[in-house]
Amino acid sequence: MGNWIKVALLTGILSHLFIYAAPEAFAADSRRGNACRRGDGIRIQDLDMSPDPVIEGQRIREWKVRVRFDGRRECETDIVIRQGENNVGRLRNYHLRPGVNEITVPAADSFRMRGREYCFNVQVDLDGSRQRVDADRRFCAGQKTMWSMREPGDRAGIKR
């Protein structure tokens, strides 16, 4: 009977350690060693879609994001394009380099534009939590005959 009590006590201690200590250890292991941090200066300079323009209901193939990163070192992050509460594009484990980064983000297969206007924002993973990134302006697509995010002089010379 003495062994049974030792086994129960040991099981209780190990269970307690697993429940309270292990999640911290696993979280630390899963964090990126070179993750982007909250203090790193990140700013969205431009956001475009491809193809551009699209007709109503047509699938967007990819997003083109120009990100200025003022950090002193390369860092790793996830990049998410959002429209309201919807993720409309996502790129995991992207390595931001100091300076301007031209990034292609795959679009969500299910996203289609319908209606009058859609506005988008970009979020990145900083210190393990997703944060909206400041932008130079609002990024919206409006419908005239087709949806477009083009602006005068926008990304001249880039093939869509």
Domain presence at residue 35: no
- Per the CB < 8 A criterion, the answer to whether 47 and 17 are in contact is no
pLDDT of residue 15: 54
Domain presence at residue 160: no
Encoding tokens for residue 38? 């909250």
pLDDT of residue 104: 98
Percent of the chain with pLDDT over 70: 76
pLDDT of residue 18: 46
User: How many other C-beta atoms can be found within 10 angstroms of the C-beta atom of residue 47?
Assistant: 24
Domain presence at residue 84: yes
Encoding tokens for residue 27? 């979280």
Model confidence, pTM: 0.71
Domain presence at residue 13: yes
Q: Which residue has the tokens 């002089």?
A: 153
Domain assignment of residue 10, given as a range: 1-30
Domain presence at residue 90: yes
CATH number of the domain bearing residue 87: 2.60.40.10
Give per-10-residue mean pLDDT for the chain (160 aa).
61 50 39 78 95 92 97 94 96 96 97 90 90 90 84 64
Judge if 59 and 26 occupy the same domain.
Answer: no
Judge if 72 and 138 occupy the same domain.
Answer: yes
User: What would the pLDDT profile of 45-82 be if each residue is shown by its tens digit?
Assistant: 999 999 999 998 899 999 999 999 999 999 999 999 99
pLDDT of residue 9: 52
